[in-house]
Chain A
Amino acid sequence: SADLLDDITQAKKIRISTDVAIPPSGMMDSSMKPTGSDVEVAQLLAKDWGLELEFIQTTGATRIPNVLTGKADIIISTLSVTPDRAKVIDFTKRYATLQSDVGCLKSSTVKDWPDLKDKPIGVSRGTTQDTTLSNMKDKDLKISRYDDDATMVTAAVSGQVDCVASSATIINQIGVKNPSRVFESRIPLATFDLAIGLKKGEQRLMDKLNAWITENVKNGKLNAIYKKFHGVELPPDMRS
């Protein structure tokens, strides 16, 4: 196999590593079919390239090993671009962004970092939010790490934690699940670029993916998908 792109073309099939347990990027609809923003991005890509699409089900922790060990060709799974990750895999251009906040129960009095002292903050283990919070050693934070977003949201919905660090979309979801526990964003954490991840050294595939992203940002298709699931548009600097 000289080149991953050739392999994909030859197989007429692309294998995409996607976590379907992190709504609204990946989830199951009421008829238990995969849906979500990442799922639709993947479907769009496969359609444009005329390939059959295979989802490699993954969890947050196994997203990257899946492409490193050749079990999947690319990752489309709310993968934010960080320097650490860039040492291990290559990233395309961003295809979306993710606003991360610390969100708290509406009735809580948390306003800023000092108020968070001794309050457990729920977070998905190994996500960029986790890394960001873990690096704030000076702030004396208490972090409760869950295996995936779903468990974290469940913990928030059921009352195990009153604060979470996650995307704004997910923070807003909690109240929908349990009207007596409405969460709202209180402290902005960071904005991350989301990109497609792939194994290092696959330049031809990388070029082709970048071209595809550029085109679909321009024609508004990616923005439409984002708005459909996240309720807001992509940031202005990305749309222009």
Chain B
Amino acid sequence: MSLQLDFPAVLERWPNFLAGAALTLELAAFATVLGALFGTLAAVGRGARSPLIAGACKVYVETIRNTPLLVQIFLVYFGLASLGLKFSAFTVAVAALTINVGAYTAEIMRAGFEAIPRGQIEAAEGLALSRLQIYWHIILLPAIEKVYPALTSQFVLLMLASSVCSQISAEELTAVANYIQSDTYRAFETYIIVAVLYVILSLVMRAGFWGLGLVLFPRRRRLGTPL
């Protein structure tokens, strides 16, 4: 062993860790809610009859999915500033994460839409429901139900990916870790603690989504079929 481990020295800084974890969770929560809305709209847009809307949604989804989040964050952060628009690091981080996860949500939701059997839509058409009513009553919730595991995994990944927000001065968990380890010079201990915290955060998120699933899908709850 060329290195002595000293966890207490690092654990002393628990209020900082806690604040970082809280900010990570906050970033993830905002981006999840906004990204889910945004992505669902983009998914609907990709199926739009207007080739302009469908094309724009496709370009958005493909551009985001094929470039790293870090690059996107830098482009948003420095791009906005170059335009003379100044927002807090938190706002920019949430915006960039939303744009990012929105693209993935759009792809997942589209798969969900496509997984709705044709017969369901025909049955609804046969009942004289309008296009909008069909989307709202027949497609949306069952589609979400079908892709719920994929969606929740994507949002947990988003939470983990938010670690790159440290680069634009958002003091989330990884930023705190960098700060603490350059302060205490206990890098190894710091990162082990942070890894544990991330695992806990992802478990917390999964538990949260499980609970949300119970609320969203009353049938699953009543029939006891797990997601």
Contacts and interface: CB of A to CB of B under 8 A. Distances in A.
A110 to B, nearest CB: 17
A65 B89 CA distance: 28
Interface stretch (A32-40, A140-148, A221-229): A140-148
A159 B81 contact: yes
Which bracket fits the contact residues of A? 20 to 34
A188 B155 CA distance: 45
A139 B185 CA distance: 26
A234 to B, nearest CB: 26
Given A126-B179, A144-B169, A68 B81 contact: no
A175 B168 CA distance: 21
Contacts of B169: 122, 144-146, 155
A146 B3 CA distance: 28
Contacts of A158: 78, 81-82
B185 A68 contact: yes
A88 B185 contact: yes
Interface stretch (A15-23, A42-50, A56-64, A208-216): A56-64
B187 A62 contact: yes
B7 interface: no
Interface string B81-96: 1101010010000000
Contacts, number: 73
A69 B3 contact: yes
B167 A151 contact: yes
A133 to B, nearest CB: 12
Interface residues of B, number: 24
Contact of A160 (B78, B179, B184, B187): B78
B128 to A, nearest CB: 55
Nearest to A84: B183
A78 to B, nearest CB: 13
19 contacts: A60-B182, A61-B181, A61-B187, A64-B182, A65-B181, A70-B2, A84-B184, A85-B185, A122-B169, A125-B166, A126-B181, A126-B183, A131-B183, A145-B171, A145-B175, A146-B168, A147-B166, A147-B178, A159-B81
Q: Shortest 10 CB-CB distances between A and B: which pairs?
A: A126-B182, A88-B185, A144-B169, A158-B81, A65-B187, A159-B81, A160-B81, A158-B78, A61-B178, A147-B167
Interface of B: 2-3, 77-78, 81-82, 84, 86, 89, 166-169, 171, 175, 178-179, 181-185, 187-188
Given A145-B171, A155-B78, A160-B78, 15 more contacts: A61-B181, A65-B181, A68-B187, A125-B175, A126-B178, A126-B179, A126-B181, A126-B183, A145-B169, A146-B167, A146-B168, A147-B167, A155-B81, A158-B82, A159-B84
